[in-house]
């Protein structure tokens, strides 16, 4: 659950706050959990995601509304950049994204929400959700390529031990 909090929040301190608040809600509302509807982990994930979103909504102008003008292909082919990352590395990179990009990326890529569900949850349009995901992936792809290019150059020069 803490990893989930880290993915949504911009700092470790914020993630710790959400983590603690999430567990308080889980224990407080445990009587509402219905094992026939979902697994405990699934229900807890939902509680923690909602807690993180509530925490983010308390801040003003959290979700930047960026609309794409014209027609764009938002489904960029995966070039394998993200497949080589460890969970911790990806989490660190995701934390560096602007809040709106980070939240949409997490909800769509990690949690499996549709753009329609994301738009409803965050109070944004479907096209804004799509554009934020597109931009989040572009930023992450660029950061990963820069990071690995630097490591490869240092490796070639004998500066990095693998």
pLDDT, position 153: 52
Residues 54 and 7 in one domain: yes
> Do residue 55 and residue 82 come from a single domain?
no
142 backbone φψ class: left, alpha, beta (φ>0; ψ -120 to 50): alpha
> Residue 144 has which token pair?
């990963």
Domain co-membership, 115 together with 76: yes
**One domain, residues 100 and 117:** yes
pTM of the predicted structure, to 2 decimals:
0.69
147, 119 contact by CB (below 8 A): no
> Residue 62's pLDDT is what?
53
Owner of token pair 């004998």: 158
Let me know whether 78 and 28 are in one domain: no
> Are both 105 and 162 inside the same structural domain?
yes
Give the domain range for residue 35: 1-59
- 157, 83: one domain: yes
Q: Are residues 14 and 31 in the same domain?
A: yes
How many residues does this entry show for the chain? Answer: 162
Q: 160 and 122, same structural domain? A: yes
Q: CA torsion sign, 150 to 154 to 159 to 161?
A: positive
Which CATH number does the domain housing residue 115 bear? Answer: 1.10.10.10
Number of domains in the chain: 2
Indicate whether 114 and 35 sit together in one domain: no
Residues 37 and 102 in one domain: no
**H or E element that contains 111:** none
Tens-digit pLDDT profile for residues 32-64: 999 999 999 999 999 999 999 999 888 764 554
Here the CATH number for the domain that contains residue 53 is 1.10.1740.10
Quick one: residue 70, left, alpha or beta (phi over 0 = left, psi -120 to 50 = alpha)? left
pLDDT (tens digit per residue) in 66-80: 443 333 333 333 444
Last residue of a domain, one of 59, 75, 106: 59
One domain, residues 52 and 120: no
Q: What is the mean pLDDT, run by run of 10 residues, along the chain of 162 residues?
A: 91 94 96 92 93 85 45 39 62 88 93 93 93 94 79 51 44
SS3 call for 105 = helix
DSSP string, 85-128: --HHHHHHHHHTS-HHHHHHHIIIIIS---HHHHHHHHT--HHH
């Amino acid at each position: 659950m803490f990893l989930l909090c880290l993915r949504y929040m911009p700092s470790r301190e914020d993630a710790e706050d959400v983590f603690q608040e999430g567990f308080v809600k889980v224990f407080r509302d445990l009587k509402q959990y219905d094992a026939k509807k979902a697994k405990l982990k699934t229900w807890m994930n939902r509680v923690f995601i909602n807690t993180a979103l509530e925490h983010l909504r308390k801040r003003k102008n959290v979700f930047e509304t960026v609309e794409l003008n014209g027609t764009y292909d938002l489904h960029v082919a995966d070039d394998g950049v993200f497949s080589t990352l460890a969970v911790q590395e990806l989490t660190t990179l995701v934390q560096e994204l602007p809040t709106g990009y980070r939240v949409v990326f997490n909800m769509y890529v990690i949690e499996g929400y549709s753009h329609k569900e994301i738009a409803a949850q965050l109070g944004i349009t479907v096209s804004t959700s799509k554009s934020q995901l597109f931009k989040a992936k572009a930023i992450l792809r660029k950061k990963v390529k820069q990071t690995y290019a630097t490591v490869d150059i240092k490796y070639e020069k004998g500066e990095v031990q693998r």
